[in-house]
Each structure stands twice: as C-alpha cells, then as structure tokens.
C-alpha cells in the first residue's frame, strides 16, 4: 500500500544519522534507486530539498518516490558493499547500469585441496582464483599450455581427498600428473606447485624462470639431458610469453590503471592490469543510464562495483596501487575497503603529472577504442570517432562526443558578393553531401557579424524544418564578435542549448560563449588540428563560391555592353556556352539558334566579343 505524503515526510524527519544504504521505492513498492550515505538523514533529505538544483534524472526520480527504506551499517565500506549487492540484485531504474565488455575467458585455479586449472567464462564466488579476462584467446591458450608443460597439475574431477579412484589414470603413466589422488604426491608438494602456477598466471615470471634455469643446469650435470631439454623449451616458451606482454611501466611495478570514456548517457570504464611493469590483461565495463550524472559519479559507480566484486571473489588479485583519471567522492571509502579485504596497503591515486599520467592516457585511449568498437557493433553504418574528437569533448566540456560538426565562414569582395559556407563533418571526415552555400541577402556590405547571424539562422532553421538531426558542435570561423552573433541567432530560433565554439585565425584561439578568456591548445594537439582542418575547409568552400559569383558579375558586365542583350539574354548565353570564353568561341549560327536571338542579334554579339582586327596602315611593310 502506498504511503501518504505525511507518512513519507515523517519518515524523512526520523531517519538515522549513521552510515548506511537507502532504497527509494515508487507507489507500487518497486525499488527505483539504491544509494549509500555517510549520514542517511542528511543524504536522503537532500533529494527533497532544493529541487531546482537537481538534474532532470534526479528530479524525475524524486517525483516517483513514494517510500524510503534504509539499512544502517557500521562503516562506509560496509555500505559500499551492501549498495553494490542490492544494485545487482534489484537493478533499479535510476541507478547507473554496468555491463561486462564481453564474455571473455578466464583461467581458473580452483579452491580445492588439490586445485585444478582450466578455462572458464563464468565467474563464481567460490573461493577460486580467476586470471583474465583474456581478450587475446591465443595468448590464454599459450599460458595454459605452458602451465601443463611445466607442472603436473591434475585434470580429473574427483573431489579429493574424500572421493578417490582405485588406481592412477593415464596422465600419471605418461608423466602429466603425479597422482595425488592415490597419495603418490603430498598436499604440501602439490600446494607449492600451485603457488608457482599462480605466480606465472599473475605475470610474476622472473623467479620461476630463475628456478627453471637452475633445475636445467642440475639435470645437465646429472646427464639427464632429456629433462634438461624439456626445461630449456619451457624456459623459451616462458620468455616468449613474457615478450608478448607489452611493457608499459619501466619501474616494473604492480598496479591497475583505470581509463574512462563517455559519450552522453553512455560510458566505458577500463582497467589495465600491469604486473612487473607488463600489461597482463584488461577488464572493461560499459555504463548506461547516466543521464545528468557527472563523470566523477559515473567513474565512482564503475570503480566501486568492479572492485567490490573483485575483493569478495579474489582479494589477492588487488594490487598495491590503483591509478584513476580523476578524483571521485568514494575514493577514500574504496581505498579503506580494499586495504581491509586484501590485508595490505592499497593506494588509490589521481596523478597530475609524470609518467603515471601517461599510463592513464593509455587506459583512456583503450576505453575510447572499446567504446567505439561497441558502437560499431551496434550500428554497422557508423564509423570510429578519432581520438581528436574525445580530446575536443574534454577541452570544450561538451556533453557529447562531437561526431557531427558544422562550420560556418563568411567571404566577400569589398562588401559585395557576400556569401557563407556551412561544411559538415562526421567522425572527423567531410560529409560533402551535407555541404551548403548561402548567398547573404542582407544589404550591410562587409559586416561579418550580421552576415554570420543570417547564415547561422537560415542554416539551423532549415535543418529543424527538414527534421534533420542537429550537429553536436558548431564551429564559427572568427573570434568573440562572430561567436556572439551566432550565439544570438541560435537563441532567437530557440536553440540556446546548441554547443558552439569560435576559432580565431590570428592566434588559433578557441572561444566559448560566456567565457572571457580563450582556450589555447598546443600546436600539435590533435583536437586543434582537426578544428583547423574543418575551418580551412569552410574557408575554401566559401572563397570558391565568392569567386564564382565575382566571375559571373565580371562576365555579365562585359556582356551588358552589347546593345539588345539585357540580363535575361546574358543568362541565356552563359547557360548555353558555360562561360564568357565559351561565348567568344561560339559560332554565329549557334548564337542565332538560341530562342529570342536571331541572325541580326547574333552578329552583334560576335562583333562585340570578337572585335575585327584593325587594318594595317598603308605604310606598313
């Protein structure tokens, strides 16, 4: 049964001040949002105060709230874990949704008295160790083959030691297993072997390679050349596997590096797993239903849920350092949770300079490419957006990646033949079918501000009338004046939300509406180079159209001197012969054949455009 407003209000007044988790419910009792708080009373009541300050998504959620349940816990870390579990269990409508990258395979080391090692695509909280996910399945197979070659790990499914076979299987007789099932291998010996397997799969191969070399030399001294050869091949395979792991951190550290990319209400979070300085693996999740949530809130949702799952499944897999692209509210709580679960110091950092910033840039690039790959799979006609567009989104603080961009430029000849161009780019490439040229109708000469106002008004108004999608960014060739004129035009046609930027030629500065200072990007910035390329194309298109009009005016001024040839007949001549040069070369009969001309007028045209050469003087040689 739905609670009355007074009941909800009284509940809000009596909320506890301890940390905990709150569940927002609608009139039907469905959980529509789950959140955590350091103080439940302060956090929950904040939703129902200052409504104008909340985003659209939050206001809509609050409008639907009919009841609130709370769970009190001892610490914020416990609240984080409970929140994660409740979100996964209930999938509330207004929470950010996370979805795995793909069902990539893992290598699993089971939690048994005599563990097994095998490939799986299913993650379970059963105490087992999971290594991956492996986006390169071939490398995973090579890792598993190396483990089987180096170690006599069992492949049977017996529940040892309670369930034992009567005799060893074939693997024992061919040397692939030491038969712990019938007590021919001790639990301690088998456990030591599994510990080394975990080291190899974790990327810590140096100590293993050192032990194998020592064993190979011992076998050679004992004349056991067959075993020495096997160890030599295994060392070579181990080194080959290590070479294929990209070295991204010369310090040889163990750390996770988190990357993030967003486009509107969707985002992608990536974790690069670096062990001994080598890129061992990558884990990714896609986030949807972001609405007006900030990037920090989205990153917090990604990080807290991913690592909350990891510590409950395999706390030993958490490295001592995790690097993030930005700060977020739950960083301290998450750090405390990871430290307690892993039983070691875990530092969550947000680097501002140095080599770690480069690692974050690499992770961000991976996130962008995965995001684009997902979009490609969802829409075969789409094309991958270049990194420059993501940089542009970040620099201009745009809500969307500017996959579609229109650019305006004005061109005139001393105030005459004033024209505008509007060139259209998709995913960083020209879409020439969307190019438009406009002849400015206003009689204001060389007033570029007025011309820009007219061009932007006409182009956007027609775009709306035709029902075509608006571009994610409009670029204005010019500084504050041109930008202000364009901004005013957009406001007058009820498009104030349109993202717009001005690019001034002199210093290549970017100007944003309402911002007094300019943005100066490095000359080698991919984002700046892309905007310059778009601006230069708009300039080329405008100048070309201006020259065409100027040429037509010149031709018509020359044709207008011919008696009997007015504007309409000038147009007929140009349409028939293409240019003034074509008229000069035309035969008299062809001109006479034009409707309305006739032989007499054709002769006048020929005499005017091809004057008879002057006769030589009598005294000339």
Which tokens belong to 420?
């505008």
Q: What is the Cα–Cα distance from 101 to 104, expressed in whole angstroms?
A: 8
Burial of 149 (0-12, 13-18, 19+ CB in 10 A): middle
Contact 35/271 with Cβ under 8 angstroms? no
Give the other-Cβ count within 10 Å of 127's Cβ.
10
Pairing of strands 500-504, 509-511: antiparallel
Name the 3-class secondary structure at 330.
coil
**Mean pLDDT in each 10-residue stretch from start to end of the chain (621 residues)?**
62 88 93 93 88 80 91 88 88 87 75 89 80 71 79 86 86 87 91 86 77 88 85 77 54 85 90 81 87 91 90 85 93 92 91 87 87 63 66 87 93 82 93 92 84 95 92 94 95 94 89 90 88 94 84 63 78 79 85 88 83 54 41
Radius of gyration for the alpha carbons in the chain, expressed in angstroms and rounded: 36
**Quick check: 395 and 519 in contact, CB under 8 A?**
yes
- What is residue 555's predicted lDDT score, i.e. its pLDDT? 55
pTM check: above 0.85: no
The whole-number pLDDT of residue 381 equals: 36
What is the C-alpha to C-alpha distance for residues 214 and 210, in angstroms, rounded to an integer?
A: 6
pLDDT 10s digits, 364-395: 988 888 887 776 655 433 455 677 888 898 88
């Amino acid at each position: 049964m739905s609670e009355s407003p007074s009941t909800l209000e009284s509940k809000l007044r009596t909320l506890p001040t301890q940390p905990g988790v709150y569940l927002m419910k609608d009139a039907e009792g469905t959980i529509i949002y789950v959140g955590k708080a350091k103080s439940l009373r302060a956090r929950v009541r904040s939703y129902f105060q200052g409504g104008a300050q909340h985003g659209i998504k939050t206001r809509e959620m609050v409008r639907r709230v009919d009841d609130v349940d709370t769970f009190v816990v001892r610490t914020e870390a416990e609240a984080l874990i409970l929140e994660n579990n409740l979100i996964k269990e209930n999938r509330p409508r207004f929470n950010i949704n996370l979805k795995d990258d793909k069902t990539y395979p893992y290598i699993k080391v089971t939690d048994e008295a005599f563990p097994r090692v095998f490939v799986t695509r299913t993650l379970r909280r059963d105490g087992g160790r999971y290594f991956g996910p492996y986006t390169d399945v071939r490398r995973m197979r090579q890792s598993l083959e190396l483990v089987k070659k180096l170690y006599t790990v069992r492949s049977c499914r017996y529940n040892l030691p309670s369930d034992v076979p009567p005799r060893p299987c074939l693997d024992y007789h061919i040397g692939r297993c030491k038969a712990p099932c019938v007590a021919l291998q001790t639990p301690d010996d088998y456990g030591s072997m599994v510990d080394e397997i975990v080291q190899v799969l974790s990327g810590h191969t140096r100590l293993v390679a050192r032990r194998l070399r020592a064993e190979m030399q011992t076998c050679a001294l004992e004349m056991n050349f067959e075993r020495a050869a096997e160890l030599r091949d295994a060392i070579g395979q181990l080194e080959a596997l290590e070479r294929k792991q990209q070295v991204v951190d010369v310090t040889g550290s163990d750390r996770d590096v988190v990357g993030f990319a967003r486009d509107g209400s969707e985002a992608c979070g990536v974790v690069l797993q670096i062990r001994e300085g080598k890129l061992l693996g990558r884990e990714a999740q896609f986030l949807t239903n972001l609405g007006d949530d900030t990037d920090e809130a989205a990153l917090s949702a990604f990080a807290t849920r991913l690592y909350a799952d990891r510590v409950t499944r395999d706390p030993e897999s958490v490295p001592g350092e995790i690097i993030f692209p930005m700060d977020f509210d739950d960083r301290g709580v998450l750090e405390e949770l990871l430290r307690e679960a892993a039983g070691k110091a875990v530092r969550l950092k947000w680097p501002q300079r140095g080599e770690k910033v480069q690692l974050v840039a690499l992770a961000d690039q991976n996130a962008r490419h995965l995001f684009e790959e997902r979009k490609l799979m969802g829409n075969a006609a789409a094309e991958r957006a270049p990194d420059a567009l993501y940089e542009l989104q970040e620099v201009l603080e745009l809500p969307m990646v500017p996959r579609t961009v229109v650019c305006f430029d004005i061109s005139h000849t001393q105030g005459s033949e004033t024209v505008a161009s509007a060139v259209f780019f998709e995913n960083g490439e020209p879409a020439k079918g969307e190019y438009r040229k406009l002849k400015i109708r206003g009689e204001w000469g060389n007033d570029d501000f007025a011309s820009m106002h007219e061009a932007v008004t006409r182009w956007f108004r027609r775009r709306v009338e035709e029902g075509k999608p608006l571009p994610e960014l409009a670029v204005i060739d010019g500084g504050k004046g041109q930008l202000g004129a364009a901004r005013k035009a957009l406001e007058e046609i009820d498009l104030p939300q349109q993202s717009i930027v001005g690019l001034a030629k002199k210093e290549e500065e970017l100007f944003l509406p309402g911002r007094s200072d300019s943005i100066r990007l490095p000359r080698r910035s991919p984002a700046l180079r892309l905007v310059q390329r778009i601006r230069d194309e708009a300039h080329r298109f405008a100048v070309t159209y201006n020259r065409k009009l100027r040429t037509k005016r010149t031709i018509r001024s020359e044709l207008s001197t011919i008696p009997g040839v007015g504007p309409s007949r000038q147009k007929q001549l140009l349409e028939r012969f293409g240019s003034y040069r074509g008229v000069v070369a035309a035969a008299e009969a062809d001109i006479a054949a034009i409707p309305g001309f006739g032989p007499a007028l054709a002769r006048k045209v020929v005499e005017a455009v091809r004057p008879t050469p002057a006769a030589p003087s009598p005294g000339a040689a």
